Structure 1
Amino acid sequence: MAEIFNAAIYQPLYNVLIFLYNVIPGQDFGVAIIATTIFLKLLLMPVSRKQIESQKKLQELQPKIKEIQNRYKDNKEKQTKELMAFYKENKANPLSGCLPLIVQLIFLIAIYRILINISMAGLVVDVSNLYSFVADPGKINHMFIGFIKLTEPSRGLAILAATAQYFQTKMIMKKNKKEDKSKKKRTSSKPDFSSMMSKQMLYLGPVLTLFIGFKFAAGLALYWLVSTLFMIGQQMYIAKDQKQE
């Protein structure tokens, strides 16, 4: 598994990062991280779009899902079977939203490992990880815009990343609330578990981001910040696109 991770994720990402570091004027490692993040997000955009569309579909199916849950609340086995059949019939997958998060986590781990490995090597690139067409840049400039050390925690970047995470979650919640209002009459008076989870994530996500930013290298917080800002922009674009439809 480790070999697959290294060959499929770590090494390609390592090379993209170093390649961009080499070609972008100024050789700013932070700028290279930003460029790499944008490259990754563009690459994964179809997956992210599918996730957003899947979430929207599940939101639309929510009244019927609740109806099934209430109908078979005393028979969990029957409830599960009916829900699975309902999901299959409507071509919906309740776990589809997890994939982009898992992918994001995998790349986060890869970025973390790259930063740690380069830092532990004395800010020198491991040539054995470089492809033949990627030049060895020598010692890496670990400063971002001249004063943020990317190999050390940065409270400023951590706070920015956590704030961006908060607003991104807030955007999703706001969108879901609008959709819920139009279906309120058909829904149960019982508390909506997904809404409760969303409210928890509104604060849990930023707190977790803040913890990671305070604890680990600033390069991680920078990656998370740019990634979140990209997703905010993507959500706005998709929402606008759906309105036009």
Structure 2
Amino acid sequence: MFSFLFHTIFYQPIYNLLVGLAAVLPTNDVGVAIIIVTVVIRLVTLPLMHKSVKSQRRMKEIEPEIEAIRVKHKGNTQEQGAKIMALYKEHGINPFSGFGALIIQIPIIYALFWVVQGLAIVPAELYSFTPFPPSLNLMFLGFVDVTKSSIVIAILAGVAQFFQAKLSIPKLDKSKVVEAGPASFSGSFQKSMQTQMVYFLPVMITFIGMTLPAAVSIYWVVNSAVGVAHELYVKKKAEKLSVDGKQEVGE
């Protein structure tokens, strides 16, 4: 049952989109098709991604209040949690929205991995309206075989993820945090998680990318690049609304 759902919802649509795009591209370049597929997937998941970005920026705005709660109820983690969750609810923030945006990437990457593994034209997998290419060019821009691992593309994926994570986690106003209490600032679990997102995840993606087909790393590079553009848009929108004296961001 799970295999059927995965094949129907993820594998087959990605396979058809990839093959169909490769068919209409002048050089039938699968690597270029992957770039377009990534942008399309990002647009489809935009509502979820946008909600996650907005929540992160709102969490940054109320960080001084969160720090004040941690200091006021120091030693009482249960009370801290209850007060912080109440604060999130008051501001309409879902602190777990970022996990949903990350989890949705897992089946997509898994499907892409299996699509490019021994990539070939399989008529039985094609929709009736999918263009049928004469052949598939697996050499991305004539240099990288998308079905084999590439150290260079894997490193680019890690670098792109680093910049996206760095941008998505807004810098804290330390002057405000000091007012709330320096001990809370230095010992916050949230800071630890943010550090792992910025530094550990890019390294992990790089090493994993070195063992997977270059197609997966190409996907991650483009996905992160679009993510950076999205973050910059929301940041600019938030700054504009802040100047206008508004609260809502990025609608």
Structure 1 residues 194 and 80: alpha-carbon distance in aligned structure 2, compared to 1, 3 A threshold: closer
One of 154, 161, 165 as aligned partner of 1:165: 161
Give the CA deviation at 1:83. Answer: 3.5
Instruction: Answer yes or no: is the 8 Å Cα contact 1:124–1:138 preserved in 2.
Output: no
Q: 2:180 matched to 1:187?
A: yes
**Which residue number corresponds to residue 247 of structure 2?**
none
AA aligned opposite 2:28: Q
Distance 2:175 2:67 in 1: 16
Distance 2:154 2:124 in 1: 32
**Which residue number corresponds to residue 96 of structure 2?**
95
Distance 2:133 2:80 in 1: 59
AA aligned opposite 1:243: E
Deviations 1:29-48 (A, max 9, x none): 00000110111112222222
**Which residue number corresponds to residue 213 of structure 1?**
209
Give the CA deviation at 1:182. Answer: 5.8
* Structure 2: stretches of 5+ with no match in the other structure: 242-251
Instruction: Answer yes or no: is the 8 Å Cα contact 2:67–2:177 preserved in 1.
Output: no
**Which residue number corresponds to residue 249 of structure 2?**
none
Give the CA deviation at 1:166. Answer: 1.8
**Which residue number corresponds to residue 30 of structure 2?**
29
The RMSD of aligned alpha carbons is: 2.1
Give the CA deviation at 1:244. Answer: 2.1
Q: Helix, strand or coil: the match of 1:212?
A: helix
Deviations 1:9-50 (A, max 9, x none): 221122111111111221000000011011111222222221
Structure 1 residues 68 and 243: alpha-carbon distance in aligned structure 2, compared to 1, 3 A threshold: closer
Instruction: Answer yes or no: is the 8 Å Cα contact 2:71–2:180 preserved in 1.
Output: no
Give the CA deviation at 1:64. Answer: 2.7
Deviations 1:84-109 (A, max 9, x none): 33333332211111111111222111
TM-score (norm 2): 0.85
Deviations 1:138-191 (A, max 9, x none): 542211111211111011111111111222222234xx22x4246334432121
Which is further off, 94-103 or 65-74?
65-74
Structure 1 residues 100 and 137: alpha-carbon distance in aligned structure 2, compared to 1, 3 A threshold: same
Deviations 1:181-202 (A, max 9, x none): 4633443212133223222322
**Which residue number corresponds to residue 240 of structure 1?**
236
Distance 1:235 1:217 in 2: 28
Distance 1:110 1:11 in 2: 9
Across the two proteins, how many residue pairs are aligned to each other?
Answer: 237
Distance 1:95 1:112 in 2: 27
Distance 2:105 2:76 in 1: 37
TM-score (norm 1): 0.87
Distance 1:168 1:89 in 2: 28
Distance 1:239 1:207 in 2: 26
Instruction: Answer yes or no: is the 8 Å Cα contact 1:57–1:92 preserved in 2.
Output: yes
AA aligned opposite 1:187: A
Q: Helix, strand or coil: the match of 1:215?
A: coil
Distance 2:56 2:82 in 1: 21
Structure 1 residues 85 and 205: alpha-carbon distance in aligned structure 2, compared to 1, 3 A threshold: same
Q: Helix, strand or coil: the match of 2:104?
A: helix
Distance 1:128 1:37 in 2: 24
**Which residue number corresponds to residue 225 of structure 1?**
221
Give the CA deviation at 1:210. Answer: 1.0
